[in-house]
Each structure stands twice: as structure tokens, then as C-alpha cells.
Amino acid sequence: MNSKSIECNSFQAFLESLPKENFWESFEIYQWKGIRFHPFILQSTIALSTEFVPRDDDIILASSLKVGTTWLKALCLSINNGADQENEDILTKGSPHLFVPTIESMVFVPNSDSVLSGMASPRLLHTHL
């Protein structure tokens, strides 16, 4: 299933075909491949699994929510960029989130393919999945 071809109606029909339950009486979550997802995250996950093309030298950081993702990104970014005196610390230029993209949030961004393919190797990427 290609996410770019998933229209709202067909995705809604797909959701309705999945087992679902109420999450804290706030919203419905759907089970797909043994994991429960919020609908937006499920759509993003399907897109990631069908459209993302990894490279052999990609570095993918995986972290759960609220476990120090910013710190993890900052450490790995610093290690990956080296610590020589000639290079300015990249973290003085902005948040680690600017330099280590979360791939599942990029799949619906216009031209995200060109952003990812234009990144120099090794690509430092992140996922919460």
C-alpha cells in the first residue's frame, strides 16, 4: 500500500477494517501488524515502510517518546561531525532536531524525497517507531 495513493476515503476504509479500541476514552487506536497506532501515526508508518529507501551507511537513531531524544540526537550529531578545533560546533547553529530529522514525520512533507536523497552520507536520521 503506497501512502501517496491513499486518499482520505480509502485510508478511512482501511482503518475501519482493522481491530480498534478506545484509548483512555480520548480517541480510537487501531491495531496493525500487532501494534496499536493513532490513525495519523499509522498513516505515517505505512508511508515510511513503503516509501523510505535506506542507504547502507545510514545511521538511524530509535527512541521512545520522552526518553531524552533531544539529548540522544545532540550526542550522536556531535560524534558524527567530529570534534576537531577547525569545525564550529553544529549545535551552536540550532536545535538537534533541525539536523537529525525524524523520518516518519518527513514522509508527508512536499519534496521530502529530495530532502532525504540530498543529504550527505552517512545520513543521521531518527525514528520513534
Residues marked as catalytic: 128
Question: How many Cβ atoms are within 10 Å of 125's Cβ, its own excluded?
Answer: 22
At position 11, the amino acid (one-letter code) is F
Helix (H) or strand (E) holding 36: strand 35-37
| 48 and 112 Cβ atoms separated by less than 8 Å | no
Please, what is the Cα angle at 99 between 98 and 101, to 5 degrees? 80
| 72 and 78 Cβ atoms separated by less than 8 Å | no
